[in-house]
């Protein structure tokens, strides 16, 4: 795929060829189910640090929804069918569950949007199979949160992961070029929703400037 810093267009181009961009239109308020207290602390720290890329920060409550960034951990997908009211968060919960079981995947993200098309709620479902169970919680949280900050094209990161692990300390970070694009995408001068691919060029120009300024400071 194209270098995201040079041309972000493919990263927001859907399978039908349409350009679709959306960012959060409100502050993010996470809530996590299915992990122990120690994991919860590390998870929320990583969520907060990744959300900070946007220039925003986590809040304690959403006036409309209470919490709007929901994480559900399980060992098997069938466990989620017993979670009270979870089916009300999905237009076709039974269909989603059937699809996850049939495909054998270990993660799923879903969004809900406000009247203008901006993200108002995100849901992350994680089945802790052998692969995810071996992943450090900070890495998992950083990856999932980053992919939830914008509506990306399906397969946007198939050829290059947006995160990297620092060998010296094992800390997971978002790669600078991807962080710059997200920060640029949250520029108040840009719209929260876009269907015209020219939007990507505006994001790219801002991202390049951000990264250049960062390199000059260092």
Separation of alpha carbons 198 and 9, rounded Å? 8
Predicted confidence band at 204 (pLDDT cuts at 50, 70, 90)? very high
What's the rounded mean pLDDT across residues 4-17?
Answer: 95
Does the structure show a pLDDT above 90 at 1?
A: no
Q: Which residue has the higher pLDDT, 178 or 167?
A: 178
CA distances from 138 to 20, 38, 41, 74, 121 (A): 29, 12, 10, 17, 22
The domains of the chain, with CATH numbers, are 1-18+155-218 (no CATH), 24-149 (3.40.50)
What's the rounded mean pLDDT across residues 183-201?
Answer: 97
Separation of alpha carbons 28 and 68, rounded Å? 6
What tens digit of pLDDT does each residue of 15-74 get? Answer: 999 999 999 999 999 999 999 999 999 999 999 999 999 999 999 999 999 999 999 999
Please tell me the predicted confidence (pLDDT) of residue 18.
97
Please tell me the predicted confidence (pLDDT) of residue 218.
55
- Hey, which residues does 123 pair with through a beta bridge? 70, 110
The mean pLDDT value of the chain amounts to 94
| Beta carbons of 203 and 54 less than 8 angstroms apart | no
| Beta carbons of 186 and 54 less than 8 angstroms apart | yes
Please tell me the predicted confidence (pLDDT) of residue 132.
95
Place of tokens 């949007």: 113
Closest C-alpha to 146, from 9, 51, 59 = 51
């Amino acid at each position: 795929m194209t270098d995201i810093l040079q041309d972000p267009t493919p990263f927001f181009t859907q399978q039908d060829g349409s350009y679709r961009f959306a960012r959060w239109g409100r502050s993010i308020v996470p809530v996590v189910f299915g992990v122990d207290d120690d994991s919860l602390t590390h998870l929320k720290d990583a969520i907060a640090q990744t959300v900070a890329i946007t220039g925003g920060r986590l809040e304690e409550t959403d006036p409309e929804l209470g919490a709007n960034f929901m994480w559900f951990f399980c060992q098997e997908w069938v466990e989620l069918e017993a979670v009270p009211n979870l089916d009300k968060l999905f237009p076709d919960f039974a269909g989603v569950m059937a699809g996850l079981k049939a495909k054998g995947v270990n993660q799923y993200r879903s969004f809900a949007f406000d009247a203008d098309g901006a993200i108002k709620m995100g849901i992350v479902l994680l089945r802790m199979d052998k692969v995810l169970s071996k992943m450090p919680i900070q890495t998992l949280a950083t990856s999932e949160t980053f992919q939830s900050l914008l509506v990306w094209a399906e397969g946007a990161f198939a050829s290059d992961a947006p995160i990297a692990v620092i060998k010296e300390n094992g800390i997971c970070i978002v790669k600078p070029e991807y962080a710059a694009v997200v920060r640029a995408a949250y520029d108040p001068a840009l719209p929260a929703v876009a269907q015209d691919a020219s939007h990507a060029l505006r994001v790219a120009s801002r991202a390049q400037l951000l990264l250049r300024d960062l390199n000059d400071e260092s």
